[in-house]
Amino acid sequence: MNESATKPEGVRAQRRERTRRELTRQARLLTMEHGLGGFTVEELCERVGVSRRTFFNYFHAKDDAVIGHRDDTLDDAALTEFVNARPSDATGISSTLMHDLVGLAIASIPFDVEHPEDEPNPEMLVEREPQLLPKFMREGAELERRMIGVIEFREGLAPGDPRAAMAVQLIGTIVRASAARYFTPGNTTDFAALLLESLDSARALFSPTPEGTE
């Protein structure tokens, strides 16, 4: 009901998110090319095709645009799907948890294999501009807190159960290891495939086939 009123609203929100993400992507590319001090907000706006006033509707400052908006870290639809994906007959921690977290990462991290250099990641940006590290660390800690809450909710764990934090830290490790391989010069494997391969490696390391039966 009232679809004609809500639909343009949703379209507008989607367009806003696209603009916000594009500001971050271009701000990161400019940072990699010229350093944080090597470009102006005006130059960034010109690349994205928005006005200076529009920019300040999205971000307070140039380095906020480089860090990116908190809501752009996770894909909303994929997050909902993740929460609902717990098997209804699961008791304790569900066996699909780590696999579903990888699915959430695949949906949320828009790496494009044709042009990996078009998606500078935090590690690359911090190497170029060490002053960005404290902000990226703060955002990382915030994302971690948020995901711990989501996992406690999905798995019915008591707040503070160390297994929720462990799951978040392990998936972070898998994501970072996969990103490092993704950005290795000469890589032609897409990010999703590397994530799934890393997940398999981790599984094998923690529960390999019994000796001698492989």
- Shortest reach from residue 125's CB to a copy of itself, in Å: 15
CA pair distance 123, 120, nearest whole angstrom: 8
Cα angle 122, 125, 131 (rounded to 5 degrees) comes to: 105
- 46 is an interface residue for a copy of itself by CB under 8 A: no
Q: Identify residues 128-157 at the interface with a copy of itself (CB under 8 A).
A: 130, 133-134
- Number of helices (H), then strands (E), belonging to the chain: the values are 10, 0
Chosen residue from 92, 159, 185, 186 binding a copy of itself by CB under 8 A: 92
- 91 is an interface residue for a copy of itself by CB under 8 A: yes
**Nearest to a copy of itself of 40, 169 (CB atom):** 169
CA pair distance 132, 135, nearest whole angstrom: 6
Closest CA to 167 of 50, 73, 86, 111: 86
CA pair distance 17, 164, nearest whole angstrom: 29
How many residues lie near a copy of itself (CB under 8 A)? 41
- 89 is an interface residue for a copy of itself by CB under 8 A: yes
- 204 is an interface residue for a copy of itself by CB under 8 A: yes
Chosen residue from 11, 61, 141, 166 binding a copy of itself by CB under 8 A: 166
CA pair distance 129, 117, nearest whole angstrom: 17
Chain contacts with a copy of itself (rule: CB under 8 A): 87, 89-95, 97-98, 130, 133-134, 162-163, 165-167, 169-170, 172-173, 176-177, 180-181, 197-198, 201-212, 214
